[in-house]
Structures are given as C-alpha cells and as structure tokens.
Amino acid sequence: MRVLVTGGAGFIGHHLVRRLLADGNEVRVLDNMATGRRDRLDDLDVELVEGDLRSYERVHTAVRGVEIVFHLGALPSVPRSIQDPLTSSAVNVEGTLNVLLASRDESVRRVVFASSSSVYGANPALPKTEEDLPLPLSPYAVSKLAAEQYCRSFHVAYGLETVALRLFNVFGPGQDPSSQYAAVVPRFIDALRRDEPPTIYGDGEQSRDFTYVEDVVDGFVRAGHAEGAAGLVLNLAAGGRMSINELVRIISARLGTVVEPHFAPAREGDVRHSQGSGRAAARVLSWETTWSIEDGLARCIDLFADGKQTFSAAVHAS
C-alpha cells in the first residue's frame, strides 16, 4: 500500500515512516525541513517531496496516488505560537485544510491527523477524556483544535474518512534538545549528562502524561485501518502522570548525577496538569501502551551511553 507521511522527517514522523516501511508499505514523505531533519531519512527507501503545507499545489503533488495520509506536519510548540500566532495558524490550520482538500480531490481513503492534548487547556478534569470540553490556552492549541474540526467536517460533508489523535507528551530516541522549543525529556537528558543544571519553568510540580514514541506510532498504524474510527477524535495517552521534578530525579538517578535544576518563571500557555484516558483508543483501535515512562527513559539514556544516539546543536528540533 502507498501512504504519505507529512512531517515524516520530524521526530514522531520518522519513527512512523520506519514502522510503515517495516510493515511493507510504499512510503512518501512531505516535509519542508523547517523543523525536520533530512538525515533521519538518509538510510530509508522513501520518496521525498520537499514542500510547505501552505502550498496546495505542493500538498496535492504529495497526496496524489496514496491510499492513506498520516498528517503529522505542523509548526510545533506552545511558546513559539505565543510569539508568532499567525504562522502557527497558517501552517497548522491552513496546512491541514490543504491536506484535507487534496485528499478529497484525490479520493484518499483515510487521513489520520496528529492533534494535541493541549486542546484541553484549562479544563481541570483528570484524566482527560474525549468528551471533556476543550479550553485551549495558546494559539498552538487553538490551531490543533481548529484542524480537528476541519477533519470532522470533511468526514461529514465529503465522506472523507478522518481520525484525529490527541497526543500526550511523546518522548523517545531521536528527539533533539538544541532548540529553545525542544521537549523536556531530551533537554533534561542532555543537560544532566553534561552535569549542567536543567531549566524547569515554574515550580516543577506541574505534571504530564509521558507516552513513548513506539506506542504512539502503533496507535497511528492502527488508526489507519480500524473499522469504526472514521470521524472520531481519540486520545493516545499512557494514562499516567509524572511531575517535572520527578522526571528530573529519575533521569539524574539513571545517569548517576547530582545537579540541582535551575527554576525559571512559568511560561504562558502551559497547562498545570495533563493526563489522558486511553480507554476510547483501546476500544476502537485495540490499542494499549507497552512502555512505561521508566523503561522508555532507560532506553533513551542507554542509547546515548552506548553512542547509538547523539545530540547535535547544529540541527533543528522537531
């Protein structure tokens, strides 16, 4: 089967590309390399289309002839969206609309969209379920919620099968800490392995539902085929919750370092606590997580220690 992965040179995207190839699919990637890395695809037998999601013509070229589109391309980061909400909206909303239009025009069977747990925002309910009211706190979260609604409307109006997956703090090998927008796990590992204090925004007691990338990739693959999933929004969440302070303690213990973190002011748009329920995904996709956060962190740290995973300050974060 021929599939397209937008954002396939990004962190989650390149893991998904590898899984799809291993499953015997022909894979095309659309990426403009703004937050992706070309070297992630160097050893893979993929067709690369370089282009921007904001160009319908380029998106249409990438979509032509595929059966399933996995739409992971986006401009990530809550802080980035607060600094530049116009670009976040253009890429994440208009870009998704281009993907949906091209998919409709090319009779694509299904579009699986990478949404975000940030759409829940200020809603205090824990764990978050798909029935909870979204209360986004940042332009990034708003852009993901708007893209979700476009997916739903295209399913209703045009019969295009769409599935939106809300992701919760995905981590794993291949994340890059070199950008100011990098995720906490690679930033903390990178700092602590160099005996430098990691920066924690706020008091560190905010908590997150960390989900290992291989589990998330499995959810995407299942969402591409599952009967009864079309038109739905589903959480891909491990279902646990860990504070940022505890995350630092676990990484420090694994590395054998004793470095006190640096605390900085809390960032605008960050939610206090995030924890998702994966029950709907378990029911609809027969999906369940197989990696605990402790095992996933150990895997990441061990790869760095073995020299099989390196960080580079010269590349973009995804």
- pLDDT tens-digit map of 37-49: 999 999 999 999 9
The answer, yes or no, to whether residue 26 has pLDDT greater than 90, is yes
Q: What is the pTM of this model?
A: 0.93
As annotated, the residues of the chain forming the CATH 3.90.25.10 domain(s) are 171-208+240-276+290-305
Q: What is the mean pLDDT of the chain?
A: 93
Domain 171-208+240-276+290-305 has CATH 3.40.109.10: no
Give mean pLDDT, residues 89-109.
98
* Interval 187-213: pLDDT, tens: 999 899 899 999 999 999 999 999 999
* Interval 257-309: pLDDT, tens: 989 999 999 988 888 999 999 999 999 999 999 999 999 999 998 886 554 55
> How far apart are the C-alpha atoms of 3 and 62, rounded to whole Å?
10
Distances 279 to 63, 99, 288, 313 between C-alpha atoms, Å: 32, 28, 9, 39
Determine phi and psi for 36, rounding to 5 degrees: -95, 175
Q: Using pLDDT thresholds of 50, 70 and 90, give the confidence band for residue 179.
A: low
> How far apart are the C-alpha atoms of 56 and 44, rounded to whole Å?
26
As annotated, the residues of the chain forming the CATH 3.40.50.720 domain(s) are 2-168+213-236
Element (H, E) at 263: strand 262-264
Between 160 and 316, where is the model more confident?
A: 160
The answer, yes or no, to whether residue 247 has pLDDT greater than 90, is yes
User: Locate tokens 């992630």: which residue?
Assistant: 40
In total, the chain counts a number of residues equal to 318
Give mean pLDDT, residues 3-15.
97
Q: Using pLDDT thresholds of 50, 70 and 90, give the confidence band for residue 311.
A: very low
CATH architecture of residue range(s) 2-168+213-236: 3-Layer(aba) Sandwich (3.40)
Catalytic residues: 140
Q: What is the pLDDT of residue 318?
A: 24
> How far apart are the C-alpha atoms of 214 and 290, rounded to whole Å?
9
Helices (H) and strands (E) in the chain, counts: 11, 13
